[in-house]
């Protein structure tokens, strides 16, 4: 996994670059059935909900997010953009919907959410099983 400094991000945005293929990330983060059953995917108290929206023009996928910043604060509306970074890597960007007040709780919550997403995507159980390798006939 690699996470570099964000130079072109807007204020209040968070980004991670993962060594996980784009399609694998989209499939793992699509709440699909879970949205109807439990309200979405939870990471801490934050919530990913709704279907994945595909932007055919840019190739970006988006998921609505409700970011929890603390017990006495309402959840902040955000979106998670999922972009193809390379053949084997994906960029995740958490972007506020509207102006974001740059508080310590806001940055803690944003980093916690992306760190939790990253850990879940890098766990072997969340990734599809590897394709079986075929051995040449001389090895069988």
What pTM was computed for the model?
0.72
Looking at residue 86, what is its pLDDT?
93
> Any idea which fold 14-124 has?
TATA-Binding Protein (3.30.310)
- Give me the percent of the chain exceeding a pLDDT of 90: 19
β-pair partners for 65: 48, 78
C-alpha to C-alpha distance for 84 and 132, rounded to whole angstroms: 25
Residues 106, 100: contact at Cβ < 8 Å? yes
Mean per-residue pLDDT, 6-25? 80
pLDDT of residue 137: 54
* pLDDT at residue 101 in the model: 76
More confident residue, 98 or 111: 111
User: How many whole angstroms separate alpha carbon 62 and alpha carbon 70?
Assistant: 24
> For 35-89, how does the pLDDT look when each residue is reduced to its tens digit (9 = 90+)?
445 567 777 778 788 788 888 888 899 998 888 877 777 778 899 999 999 999 9
The two tokens of residue 123 are: 């766990």
């Amino acid at each position: 996994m690699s996470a570099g400094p964000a130079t072109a991000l807007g204020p209040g945005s968070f980004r991670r670059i993962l060594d996980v293929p784009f399609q694998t990330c989209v499939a793992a983060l699509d709440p699909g059935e879970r949205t109807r059953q439990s309200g979405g995917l939870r990471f801490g108290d934050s919530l990913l909900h709704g279907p994945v929206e595909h932007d055919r023009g840019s190739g970006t996928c988006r998921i609505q997010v409700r970011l929890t910043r603390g017990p006495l604060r309402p959840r902040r509306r955000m979106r998670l953009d999922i972009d193809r970074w390379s053949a084997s890597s994906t960029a995740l960007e958490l972007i506020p919907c509207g102006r974001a007040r740059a508080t310590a709780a806001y940055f803690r919550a944003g980093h916690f959410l992306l760190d939790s997403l990253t850990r879940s995507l890098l766990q072997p159980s969340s990734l599809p099983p590897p394709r079986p390798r075929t051995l040449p006939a001389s090895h069988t």
